[in-house]
Structure 1
Amino acid sequence: MAEKVEKVHRTKRVFINNLDSYASKCIGKFLSTCVVGASVLGSGEQDVEEDDERLSQDQKIKEGTFHIVGTCANKNSCDDGRPTYVLEEYFVSSMEDLLECLMECDIIIYNITEHADQIEEASWAISAIHAQKARFSQPKMYILISTVMTWALSKPVDPNDSEIPFTEEDYRRRRAHPNFKEHINIEKVVVKMGKTNSSLFSTYVVASGVQYGMGEQLFHFFFKTSWLGDVPKVPIFGEGTNIIPTIHINDLAHVIQNVIDHKPKQHYLLAVDDSKNTIEEILKTITYVLGPGKTQRVPKEDAFLIRDLSQMDIDTLFVNLRIEAVYLKENFNIQWACESGLVDNIDRVVEEYKQTRGLLPVRVCILGPPAVGKSTVAERICKHYKLHHIRLKETISETLTRLESAVKMEDPEAGDSATSSELLETLRENMNQNGGRLDDQYVIRIMRDKLKSKLCRNQGFVLDGFPKTYEQAKDLFYADEDEPEEMKSKIPPFNKIIPEFVFSLDSTDEVLKNRVLNLPECLVEGTSYSQEQFLRRLSSFRDSNMEDETVLSYFEELDIHTEHIEITSSDDLEYPLVIERIIMSVGKPKNYGATSQEEEEEERRSADRRLRKESQERADTERMETAEAQQRAARWEEWSKCLEESKKREQDLLEAQSVPLRNYLMKNVMPTLTQGLIECCKTRPQDPVDFLAEYLFKNNPQVE
């Protein structure tokens, strides 16, 4: 028995392709925490929640667990640093190098559910490893994670009863979707390779249902659309009546663990949960829990307009299959995370989605006296973090408008018409009795409903100047009635709408008065910034904050410490230092950031700015060059003119100086020279020059 345990717990090296992809990453992370042989010995019966907590912690490579190695689909993702659960990442330049890496591993897992370009490599890998069986020092296992899309066009088991599900026993009758022919071809190769010498080289095909959980893949578009709340209704492409086989990604990882540990005789396995949900049921559940709660059917063709959906995703969304994984239920020891499917476990899946993608709400409250700049700061913070700006007056108006729509049946899904009508009448009557204002009980109800809306719960909010009193804060943030009594008695309350960050802006009365006085008259007229109303509001604020119980003291009781920020100038309307300080306190945004459309728009704006800048620079350069050319031409013209004048003066001077010399030559030299030339012509001496020189010397008048 001791030998068996020692053998089971021997560390095994597991290769997984594309470790940076959704499924491969989750499977690798899961296996790195599993002790080899745990599912055989039954030690894998830990609580599912404890298992998830174990997976969410910093992954450490432990003795006796699977050692994960593999490749990356995106080189840049690997450059960011090797994950802690990965022992080694392979960066191979040739198939020969990759084969040597694969030969070092005990289990080779190829996932082809996400990237079709991996099919060729997976096919090569099993053939190359199979050809090297003589070199095996110990048995190896090859697992292909394929997709149920290879069953998409299978004929019903019973033509008279289409509700009879397929099982592993029917795998020879499966027919693939036209775009998944290569998937089924490699499935057949893998199954065939494992039958030659299964004791030395065993092969398995795990046909996975549509994977969900831990951040999502195929359903991510619908999760993201619901979470953002940008559209009033989430689309359902087509009729929505098709049944999609699904499996939680951690359950798929459990199946892979059991395949490794059990080495089953069945070479082809189905990995799906027990759900038989239609795509309509799935999407309605997602949007009800996470988003607006409304869906609409749109034509199938509209799916091709969604950039986030690939052709493979669209094909999968329209599959209609009833499948049961009989073998793994009867033979494997699986601790299911979501055995009954996504719909029944939507709360858990949504929480995984938020945690995995870091989509955590940011809840901020900004308080302070009137005219201190709360709304300006709130707007800037909302823009930076993509939060919802909650102002009392606007929220009340929005609620009244929504109730009016529900009463008029303009929006039948807005709520029960009778209830809405009764509430609307109550609010109007209360406002009439109070000169257009609402009692605190109705204000608190409206604000509480707003903060509990899905958009505020998803992204977060910035409360602008509310609550104003201790009692308002206490009534607004009390614990939900459906929460346990022990939680209600604790501080802070567990209703998930209380602000995490509270900032108190303040300034001197003098600065606030100057700011209001400098406001344009068009902005002041008809508002609470008129002189009389503003002074009354400021005085009321100061008096209320002199009491023992204030809004700030309420937050202090809950251990939510207020950060005080002093506004010292009435001229600074942008508050850059205040915004920077708040951002440093709150931290980085916890949302999706810019959408692909926003990024493209920003790129276009950046390109336009760059082109305008380059055009301006070219225009400035041309203008400078033209000005310099004109200056050079003017200087050249001036210099040429001066040069001409200088030459003329010099010529006149030379001519004036040459007159005496010319006169002397004409009188004394030219006659003798002429006579000498005549004599030279007559005599024709052998050396004319010498003759002429001798002649001039003898007949020089001065010598005479």
Structure 2
Amino acid sequence: MAEGQKAIGPQSKRVFINHIDSYSSECIGKFLSSCVVGASLEEAEGEEEDEVTYQIVGTVQNRRETRRSRFSSQEYFALGRQDLLQHLMECDVIVYNISENSEQLDETSWAISALHSEMNNFDGPKIFILISTLMTWALTKPIDPDDPEIPFTEEDYRRRRSHPNFKEHLSVEKLVLKMGKTKKSKLSTYVVASGLQYGMGENIFHYFFKASWLGEVSRIPVFGSGKNIIPTIHVKDLAGVIQNIIDHKPKTHYIMAVDDCNSTIGDIVKAISDVVGPGRTESVPKEDAFLLKDFTQRDIDSLTVHLRTDPVFLRNSFNLQWVCESGIVANIDRVADEYKQSRQLLPIRICILGPPAVGKSTVAAKICKHYKLYHITVQDAITEKMTQLEDMVRMDEQEGESYDTSGAQELLETLRDNMNLNEGLLDDHFVFQILREKLNSNPCRNQGFVLDGYPETYNQAMELFHSEEEESEDTRSKIPQFNQKIIPDYVFSMDATDEFLKDRVRNLPESIVEGTHYTQDRFPHHLAVFRDRNSQDETVLDYFDELEIHPEHIEVTSEEDPEYLSVTKKIIRAVGPAKNYGPSEEERAEEEMRNAEERIMLLAAEREERERKEAEEAAVRAARLEEWGKNLREVKRQEQEMLEVRALPLRNYLMRNVMPSLTEALVECCKVKPDDPVDYVAEYLLRSSAHVD
């Protein structure tokens, strides 16, 4: 199934790449799409007429919901083999990359076999390039047993012995080479044995870059002894190798794609740690790597291989425009910059200024927590530096690392003497030195920082952020020279009225005020100094304005927001989203578990509250029912008593005037037993009544 098809021009060479959305395949596709066919041929220099370009097509691992990549003309997802063969037949060059994904081994074997069987139906010659891995050399015996350091070259490829987990890769390599020997005029095949690929965001080395960048560990682990040499190549240089194969069509069909590095894994991790992380490494058991989700079995095998190589063919036969010919260690600064830019791991540098007691530190702490930045105050930086120097002075040697304790001792004594002369404060030039060192540290260069309440004056800003490089010869520019690596990207100036600030200080707890300049006798002086500094001709805010880093002014007016939530939200809106990894998998799992627990507790609380209300309502209903029943019984009793009271005169009347005559009549009726007793009783009563009258 094709996505985003566009017409093929007459001056295009069609290139198929499998899994074009994977790490190295995507880089190769982007590289070739920007190249002109034949550009790597020396004799083609200067020829610009009738340029033939590369048109990139390929399969993707996942269906893209967004628009296809800009460098590809067609993308295929979940194709049947018959449809895939149809697309392969339309291409001039077929590149299958099995260096990243072993799941493509079976498809690759099928693809080369199917193309081989269809050679007679080709419209023109085709090139099949297999990108494999040097792990198919992992167990190759040394060329000279007496000198195991002699490197392997392409000429030794028939001697290669694969790592047990890469035997299928070796079988595919052999199949590809075999299929290219039948009709080279129709189908040329090449195998590129790639070293471990790096650059452009990283793949197999990503764990070491990420651990260094996050700064959560004091030492970056090296799995195993770290003395094994691993072959490597920058992913763009690998793309250059593919370009040269297409252009040159070399007679050598097995090519090693490696740089001149021959560095150990320990050297590589140390270089990454120095430039991105804490600067220290530690050897840990190889088995520890299996505990990490970042590595697969094949990754661990690749990182622990020991293989010395020499790219003789690349050096002598190809016209490569190397990106990192000397390897990752020698080019670690460039590789680290690529890693940060590719993954958009950009530091956020913020400076928060304002009068004393306006809430700078409270806001800075919240911003640091939100963006995972480093909170820098002058006092904390000085304390940290003094502690660091004291620790170094106590060390002679630790774990094989040497320290210049004499220099640390001298600087520590200098700082102490200066503080003794200035009532515990340091001169500005020492403060600048300490802060510049802190701002230039890897953690601040990686994630960024919030500089809290400093600099306070124009001159302090000039000295703190000045560029150590040579000044520009253009004296007409009014923009001060500054260090772009440590200058804040955002400046926020908090302010409030003097009365508001004084009221806030008066309401602070004694435990916070004690030992600070927030006391009643010291605070007015500090506030007056701040106002005076910010009313001069050149203020610290003017300095940032001149650099076109325009400060954003935030007025603090409400005492109803002690947590400064509104101020924090304004700053977050101005800065935008974080530019880092965000929460780790563990943090996300903990957050999800915490949210789940909170939901369970909330549901339990709601259920408990509901049950409590139902119980209260039931109790109220029962009480009301009981009261209603009691009232009903009382009403019935009163009615009964009333009836009895009303019936008493009637009863007396009947007993006195009616019952004696009626009783007598009934007795006589019983004696006589007439046929009609009722009539008899009536007549008897009538006669008795007449007799009485």
TM-score by length of 1: 0.83
CA deviation map 1:377-408 (0-9, x unaligned): 11111112211111011111111111111111
1:508 shift after superposition: 0.6
In structure 1, stretches of 5+ residues that fail to align are: 1-7, 47-61, 650-704
For 1:465, which of 423, 429, 453 is the aligned residue? Answer: 453
Alpha-carbon spacing, 1:243–1:450, altered in 2? closer, same or farther (3 Å): same
Distance in 2 of aligned mates of 1:72 and 1:645: 88
Does 1:30 find its partner at 2:18?
no
What secondary structure does 1:169 align onto? helix
CA deviation map 1:121-165 (0-9, x unaligned): 222222233333344323332222110001000111121211221
Q: State the partner residue of 2:559.
A: 570
Aligned residues of 1:167 and 1:270 also touching (Cα < 8 A) = yes
Within a 5 Å distance, the mapping from 1:339-358 to structure 2 comes to 339-358=325-344
1:40 shift after superposition: 3.0
Q: State the partner residue of 1:57.
A: none
Q: State the partner residue of 1:208.
A: 194
Distance in 1 of aligned mates of 2:272 and 2:570: 37
Q: State the partner residue of 1:598.
A: 587
What secondary structure does 1:144 align onto? strand
Q: State the partner residue of 1:18.
A: 19
Supply the AA of the counterpart residue of 1:443: V
What secondary structure does 2:128 align onto? strand
Alpha-carbon spacing, 1:385–1:648, altered in 2? closer, same or farther (3 Å): same
Within a 5 Å distance, the mapping from 1:208-357 to structure 2 comes to 208-357=194-343
What secondary structure does 2:288 align onto? helix
For 2:598, which of 609, 620, 627 is the aligned residue? Answer: 609
Aligned residues of 1:34 and 1:65 also touching (Cα < 8 A) = yes
Aligned residues of 1:492 and 1:558 also touching (Cα < 8 A) = no
TM-score by length of 2: 0.85
Does 1:540 find its partner at 2:529?
yes
Q: State the partner residue of 1:494.
A: 483
**Sequence identity (%):** 59
1:525 shift after superposition: 2.2
Does 1:111 find its partner at 2:97?
yes
1:411 shift after superposition: 7.4
Aligned residues of 2:462 and 2:480 also touching (Cα < 8 A) = no
Does 1:520 find its partner at 2:521?
no
Supply the AA of the counterpart residue of 2:467: A
Q: State the partner residue of 2:173.
A: 187
CA deviation map 1:529-565 (0-9, x unaligned): 2111212211111112111121111222222211111
Q: State the partner residue of 1:663.
A: none
Distance in 1 of aligned mates of 2:32 and 2:104: 21
Q: State the partner residue of 1:582.
A: 571
What secondary structure does 2:96 align onto? strand
What secondary structure does 1:117 align onto? helix
Supply the AA of the counterpart residue of 2:449: F
Alpha-carbon spacing, 1:491–1:433, altered in 2? closer, same or farther (3 Å): closer
Distance in 2 of aligned mates of 1:522 and 1:344: 54
Q: State the partner residue of 2:59.
A: 71
Distance in 2 of aligned mates of 1:167 and 1:520: 75
Supply the AA of the counterpart residue of 2:417: E
Aligned residues of 2:351 and 2:490 also touching (Cα < 8 A) = yes
Q: State the partner residue of 1:419.
A: 407
CA deviation map 1:504-549 (0-9, x unaligned): 1001111112222222222222222211121221111111211112
1:645 shift after superposition: 12
What secondary structure does 2:406 align onto? helix
Alpha-carbon spacing, 1:9–1:98, altered in 2? closer, same or farther (3 Å): closer
Alpha-carbon spacing, 1:437–1:196, altered in 2? closer, same or farther (3 Å): same
CA deviation map 1:310-334 (0-9, x unaligned): 2211111111111122223322221
Distance in 1 of aligned mates of 2:179 and 2:57: 23
1:604 shift after superposition: 1.9
Aligned residues of 2:61 and 2:77 also touching (Cα < 8 A) = no
Distance in 2 of aligned mates of 1:485 and 1:571: 50
CA deviation map 1:14-48 (0-9, x unaligned): 222222221111111111101122223655799xx
Alpha-carbon spacing, 1:317–1:470, altered in 2? closer, same or farther (3 Å): same
Q: State the partner residue of 1:656.
A: none
Distance in 2 of aligned mates of 1:647 and 1:199: 118
Distance in 2 of aligned mates of 1:355 and 1:478: 25
Supply the AA of the counterpart residue of 1:385: Y
Alpha-carbon spacing, 1:487–1:168, altered in 2? closer, same or farther (3 Å): farther
Distance in 2 of aligned mates of 1:299 and 1:623: 58
Distance in 2 of aligned mates of 1:159 and 1:465: 66
1:238 shift after superposition: 1.5
CA deviation map 1:585-639 (0-9, x unaligned): 2222222222222222222212222222333344344445555666777788899
Aligned residues of 1:514 and 1:570 also touching (Cα < 8 A) = no
CA deviation map 1:464-517 (0-9, x unaligned): 00011222112111211x546549986342352121211110011111122222
What secondary structure does 1:39 align onto? coil
Distance in 2 of aligned mates of 1:42 and 1:645: 121
CA deviation map 1:226-247 (0-9, x unaligned): 2222222222222111111111
Distance in 2 of aligned mates of 1:193 and 1:648: 113
What secondary structure does 1:199 align onto? coil
Aligned residues of 1:32 and 1:68 also touching (Cα < 8 A) = yes
For 1:161, which of 147, 167, 175 is the aligned residue? Answer: 147
Aligned residues of 1:515 and 1:571 also touching (Cα < 8 A) = no
Distance in 1 of aligned mates of 2:291 and 2:364: 36
Distance in 2 of aligned mates of 1:605 and 1:485: 55
- Total equivalences in the alignment: 643
In structure 2, stretches of 5+ residues that fail to align are: 1-8, 639-693
CA-atom RMSD, angstroms?
3.6
Alpha-carbon spacing, 1:613–1:112, altered in 2? closer, same or farther (3 Å): farther
Alpha-carbon spacing, 1:63–1:642, altered in 2? closer, same or farther (3 Å): farther
Supply the AA of the counterpart residue of 2:488: P
Does 1:619 find its partner at 2:621?
no
